[in-house]
Amino acid sequence: MAREFNVPPVIFPSGGIANVPHQRRTSASAPTPSFQPPRPSSNPGPSPNLPFMSFDFGAAQPSSSFSAAPVFSSNTISYSSFDEEPPLLEELGINTRQIWRKTVSILNPFRVSANLHEDADLSGPFLFLMAFGLFQLLAGKFHFGIILGWVTVAALFIYVVFNMLAGRNGNLDLYRCLSLVGYCILPMVIFSAISLFVPRDGFVIFAMGAVFVLWSTRVCTLLLVEVASCGVEHRGLIAYACWLVYMLFSLLVIF
Protein backbone atom coordinates (compact mmCIF):
# COMPACT_ATOMS: atom_id res chain seq x y z
CA MET A 1 0.00 0.00 0.00
CA ALA A 2 1.49 3.35 -0.97
CA ARG A 3 2.01 6.08 1.65
CA GLU A 4 1.83 9.80 1.08
CA PHE A 5 4.47 12.03 2.71
CA ASN A 6 4.52 15.81 3.04
CA VAL A 7 7.97 17.07 2.04
CA PRO A 8 8.94 20.45 3.63
CA PRO A 9 10.43 23.19 1.48
CA VAL A 10 14.20 23.09 1.04
CA ILE A 11 16.23 26.27 1.76
CA PHE A 12 19.33 26.65 -0.39
CA PRO A 13 22.40 28.72 0.63
CA SER A 14 21.72 31.29 -2.08
CA GLY A 15 18.56 32.29 -0.25
CA GLY A 16 16.17 30.76 -2.72
CA ILE A 17 13.36 28.54 -1.60
CA ALA A 18 12.26 25.64 -3.72
CA ASN A 19 8.70 24.57 -3.37
CA VAL A 20 8.58 20.84 -3.81
CA PRO A 21 5.10 19.60 -4.64
CA HIS A 22 3.54 16.67 -2.99
CA GLN A 23 4.87 13.45 -4.44
CA ARG A 24 3.69 9.94 -4.16
CA ARG A 25 6.23 7.33 -3.24
CA THR A 26 5.49 3.85 -4.21
CA SER A 27 7.09 2.25 -1.21
CA ALA A 28 8.26 3.18 2.28
CA SER A 29 11.60 1.57 1.67
CA ALA A 30 12.60 3.99 -1.05
CA PRO A 31 16.00 5.52 -0.38
CA THR A 32 15.97 9.09 0.91
CA PRO A 33 18.35 11.54 -0.65
CA SER A 34 21.35 12.22 1.54
CA PHE A 35 23.00 15.63 1.65
CA GLN A 36 26.74 15.76 2.12
CA PRO A 37 28.53 18.99 3.13
CA PRO A 38 30.93 20.36 0.57
CA ARG A 39 34.52 19.37 1.06
CA PRO A 40 36.95 22.19 1.85
CA SER A 41 39.46 23.14 -0.73
CA SER A 42 42.97 21.76 -0.46
CA ASN A 43 44.52 25.27 -0.51
CA PRO A 44 42.20 27.57 1.40
CA GLY A 45 42.98 31.22 0.98
CA PRO A 46 42.16 34.14 3.19
CA SER A 47 38.59 35.27 3.17
CA PRO A 48 38.13 38.57 1.39
CA ASN A 49 35.69 39.73 4.09
CA LEU A 50 38.04 39.19 7.09
CA PRO A 51 41.25 41.17 7.71
CA PHE A 52 44.42 39.16 7.66
CA MET A 53 46.67 39.43 10.73
CA SER A 54 50.08 37.90 10.98
CA PHE A 55 51.48 36.84 14.35
CA ASP A 56 55.19 36.46 13.83
CA PHE A 57 56.71 36.56 17.30
CA GLY A 58 60.23 35.87 16.15
CA ALA A 59 60.41 38.96 13.97
CA ALA A 60 59.01 41.34 16.60
CA GLN A 61 61.52 43.80 18.05
CA PRO A 62 61.33 44.94 21.66
CA SER A 63 59.97 48.39 22.13
CA SER A 64 62.42 51.02 23.21
CA SER A 65 60.02 52.33 25.87
CA PHE A 66 60.14 49.03 27.80
CA SER A 67 63.65 47.89 26.98
CA ALA A 68 65.28 49.77 29.86
CA ALA A 69 64.28 50.29 33.47
CA PRO A 70 63.05 53.76 34.42
CA VAL A 71 65.74 55.97 35.86
CA PHE A 72 64.81 58.53 38.49
CA SER A 73 67.10 61.46 38.83
CA SER A 74 68.07 62.97 42.13
CA ASN A 75 66.06 66.09 41.35
CA THR A 76 62.74 64.25 41.39
CA ILE A 77 63.13 61.74 44.22
CA SER A 78 65.49 62.16 47.12
CA TYR A 79 65.57 59.21 49.47
CA SER A 80 67.54 61.10 52.08
CA SER A 81 64.76 63.68 52.44
CA PHE A 82 62.54 61.24 54.38
CA ASP A 83 65.03 61.16 57.24
CA GLU A 84 65.13 64.93 57.41
CA GLU A 85 61.36 65.41 57.57
CA PRO A 86 59.91 66.46 60.96
CA PRO A 87 57.60 64.09 62.86
CA LEU A 88 53.91 63.98 62.00
CA LEU A 89 52.83 65.62 65.28
CA GLU A 90 55.07 68.62 64.64
CA GLU A 91 53.67 68.96 61.11
CA LEU A 92 50.18 69.08 62.65
CA GLY A 93 51.32 71.77 65.08
CA ILE A 94 51.49 69.49 68.15
CA ASN A 95 54.75 69.86 70.03
CA THR A 96 54.76 67.27 72.80
CA ARG A 97 57.89 68.64 74.46
CA GLN A 98 56.42 72.10 74.66
CA ILE A 99 53.17 70.73 76.09
CA TRP A 100 55.10 68.81 78.74
CA ARG A 101 57.13 71.88 79.72
CA LYS A 102 54.01 74.02 80.03
CA THR A 103 52.35 71.34 82.14
CA VAL A 104 55.33 71.13 84.50
CA SER A 105 55.42 74.93 84.85
CA ILE A 106 51.75 75.02 85.88
CA LEU A 107 52.24 72.26 88.45
CA ASN A 108 54.43 74.68 90.46
CA PRO A 109 52.23 77.71 91.27
CA PHE A 110 55.12 79.64 92.89
CA ARG A 111 57.51 79.47 89.93
CA VAL A 112 55.50 79.94 86.76
CA SER A 113 57.56 80.32 83.59
CA ALA A 114 55.68 82.74 81.36
CA ASN A 115 58.23 82.45 78.55
CA LEU A 116 56.95 78.96 77.72
CA HIS A 117 53.45 80.31 77.13
CA GLU A 118 54.47 82.92 74.57
CA ASP A 119 53.60 80.48 71.79
CA ALA A 120 49.94 79.66 72.27
CA ASP A 121 48.51 76.28 71.30
CA LEU A 122 45.28 74.40 71.92
CA SER A 123 46.62 70.84 71.91
CA GLY A 124 47.44 70.77 75.61
CA PRO A 125 44.18 72.44 76.72
CA PHE A 126 42.21 69.99 74.59
CA LEU A 127 43.90 67.03 76.30
CA PHE A 128 43.22 68.53 79.74
CA LEU A 129 39.57 69.15 78.92
CA MET A 130 39.14 65.60 77.65
CA ALA A 131 40.76 64.25 80.83
CA PHE A 132 38.50 66.48 82.93
CA GLY A 133 35.42 65.18 81.12
CA LEU A 134 36.66 61.58 81.48
CA PHE A 135 36.99 61.90 85.27
CA GLN A 136 33.54 63.42 85.40
CA LEU A 137 32.24 60.49 83.36
CA LEU A 138 33.76 58.08 85.88
CA ALA A 139 31.83 59.97 88.57
CA GLY A 140 28.60 59.40 86.65
CA LYS A 141 28.39 62.84 85.00
CA PHE A 142 28.38 63.37 81.26
CA HIS A 143 29.76 66.92 80.99
CA PHE A 144 31.86 66.97 77.79
CA GLY A 145 29.68 69.53 76.02
CA ILE A 146 29.28 71.66 79.15
CA ILE A 147 33.04 71.74 79.76
CA LEU A 148 33.88 72.77 76.21
CA GLY A 149 31.16 75.42 76.21
CA TRP A 150 32.16 76.85 79.58
CA VAL A 151 35.83 77.08 78.61
CA THR A 152 34.92 79.00 75.45
CA VAL A 153 32.65 81.40 77.31
CA ALA A 154 35.23 81.81 80.11
CA ALA A 155 38.02 82.65 77.65
CA LEU A 156 35.76 85.18 75.92
CA PHE A 157 34.82 86.71 79.30
CA ILE A 158 38.45 87.10 80.45
CA TYR A 159 39.42 88.44 77.02
CA VAL A 160 36.76 91.17 77.20
CA VAL A 161 37.57 92.07 80.82
CA PHE A 162 41.33 92.27 80.19
CA ASN A 163 41.01 94.43 77.08
CA MET A 164 38.55 96.75 78.80
CA LEU A 165 41.02 97.23 81.64
CA ALA A 166 44.09 97.57 79.43
CA GLY A 167 42.42 99.84 76.89
CA ARG A 168 44.09 100.37 73.55
CA ASN A 169 47.46 99.19 74.84
CA GLY A 170 46.25 95.63 75.46
CA ASN A 171 47.80 92.95 73.28
CA LEU A 172 45.89 89.89 74.47
CA ASP A 173 44.20 88.04 71.62
CA LEU A 174 41.42 85.50 71.98
CA TYR A 175 43.53 82.54 70.85
CA ARG A 176 46.20 83.12 73.49
CA CYS A 177 43.56 83.76 76.14
CA LEU A 178 41.89 80.43 75.34
CA SER A 179 45.27 78.69 75.52
CA LEU A 180 46.06 80.17 78.94
CA VAL A 181 42.66 79.39 80.41
CA GLY A 182 42.88 75.83 79.08
CA TYR A 183 46.33 75.19 80.50
CA CYS A 184 45.39 76.65 83.89
CA ILE A 185 42.49 74.20 84.18
CA LEU A 186 45.02 71.47 85.03
CA PRO A 187 44.47 71.89 88.84
CA MET A 188 40.75 71.35 88.20
CA VAL A 189 41.59 68.12 86.39
CA ILE A 190 43.61 66.94 89.39
CA PHE A 191 40.76 67.94 91.72
CA SER A 192 38.29 66.01 89.57
CA ALA A 193 40.49 62.89 89.79
CA ILE A 194 40.91 63.14 93.58
CA SER A 195 37.20 63.78 94.13
CA LEU A 196 36.45 60.23 92.96
CA PHE A 197 37.87 58.93 96.28
CA VAL A 198 36.51 61.66 98.59
CA PRO A 199 32.96 61.77 100.03
CA ARG A 200 30.81 64.41 98.41
CA ASP A 201 28.92 65.47 101.53
CA GLY A 202 31.83 66.41 103.78
CA PHE A 203 33.98 69.40 104.60
CA VAL A 204 37.07 67.87 103.02
CA ILE A 205 35.93 68.19 99.42
CA PHE A 206 34.99 71.86 99.88
CA ALA A 207 38.39 72.63 101.41
CA MET A 208 40.13 70.81 98.58
CA GLY A 209 38.02 72.69 96.04
CA ALA A 210 39.04 76.04 97.56
CA VAL A 211 42.73 75.09 97.41
CA PHE A 212 42.58 74.03 93.76
CA VAL A 213 40.55 77.11 92.79
CA LEU A 214 43.18 79.38 94.35
CA TRP A 215 45.88 77.39 92.56
CA SER A 216 44.28 77.86 89.13
CA THR A 217 43.49 81.51 89.84
CA ARG A 218 47.04 82.35 90.84
CA VAL A 219 48.61 80.62 87.83
CA CYS A 220 46.19 82.12 85.33
CA THR A 221 46.58 85.62 86.77
CA LEU A 222 50.38 85.48 86.67
CA LEU A 223 50.37 84.25 83.08
CA LEU A 224 47.89 86.89 81.92
CA VAL A 225 49.84 89.70 83.59
CA GLU A 226 53.28 88.59 82.36
CA VAL A 227 52.42 87.34 78.88
CA ALA A 228 50.08 90.21 78.01
CA SER A 229 51.34 93.68 78.89
CA CYS A 230 49.42 96.55 80.54
CA GLY A 231 47.83 94.34 83.16
CA VAL A 232 50.04 94.82 86.21
CA GLU A 233 48.03 97.66 87.71
CA HIS A 234 44.80 95.69 87.30
CA ARG A 235 46.05 92.46 88.82
CA GLY A 236 43.30 92.29 91.42
CA LEU A 237 40.43 92.63 88.94
CA ILE A 238 41.97 90.07 86.60
CA ALA A 239 42.41 87.66 89.52
CA TYR A 240 38.75 88.15 90.47
CA ALA A 241 37.61 87.29 86.94
CA CYS A 242 39.78 84.16 86.92
CA TRP A 243 38.48 83.17 90.36
CA LEU A 244 34.89 83.33 89.11
CA VAL A 245 35.73 81.11 86.15
CA TYR A 246 37.46 78.35 88.10
CA MET A 247 34.90 78.51 90.89
CA LEU A 248 32.29 77.42 88.36
CA PHE A 249 34.39 74.41 87.36
CA SER A 250 34.90 73.43 91.01
CA LEU A 251 31.15 73.54 91.60
CA LEU A 252 30.75 71.33 88.53
CA VAL A 253 33.04 68.78 90.21
CA ILE A 254 31.46 68.96 93.66
CA PHE A 255 27.81 68.92 92.64
Q: What is the pLDDT of residues 188-221, one digit of tens each?
A: 999 999 999 999 888 999 999 999 999 999 999 9
**Over residues 108-115, mean pLDDT:** 86
Q: Record the pTM.
A: 0.66
How would DSSP label each residue in 25-40? Answer: ES-TTPPPP---PPPP
Which amino acid belongs to residue 196? L
Residue 204 lies in a domain: yes
Residue 230 in any domain: the answer is: yes
The number of domains in the chain is 1
Model confidence over 54-75: pLDDT tens digits?
Answer: 545 454 555 544 444 444 444 5
**In-domain check, residue 242:** yes
Q: Which residue range(s) make up the domain with 211?
A: 117-254
Mean pLDDT computed over every residue of the chain: 78
Averaged pLDDT for residues 23-30: 47
pLDDT score, position 210: 96
Stated as kind and residue range, the H or E segment containing 4 is: strand 3-5
From the number of C-beta atoms within 10 Å of its C-beta (0-12, 13-18, 19+), residue 84 rates as exposed
pLDDT digits (tens, 9 = 90+) for 84-103: 676 777 677 788 889 999 99
Residue 234: what pLDDT?
86
Is 75 within the bounds of a domain?
A: no
Q: Tell me: the pLDDT tens digits for 7-18?
A: 666 665 555 444
Question: Is there a contact between 162 and 170 (Cβ–Cβ < 8 Å)?
Answer: yes
Residue 19: inside a domain: no
| Residue 155 is assigned to a structural domain of this protein | yes
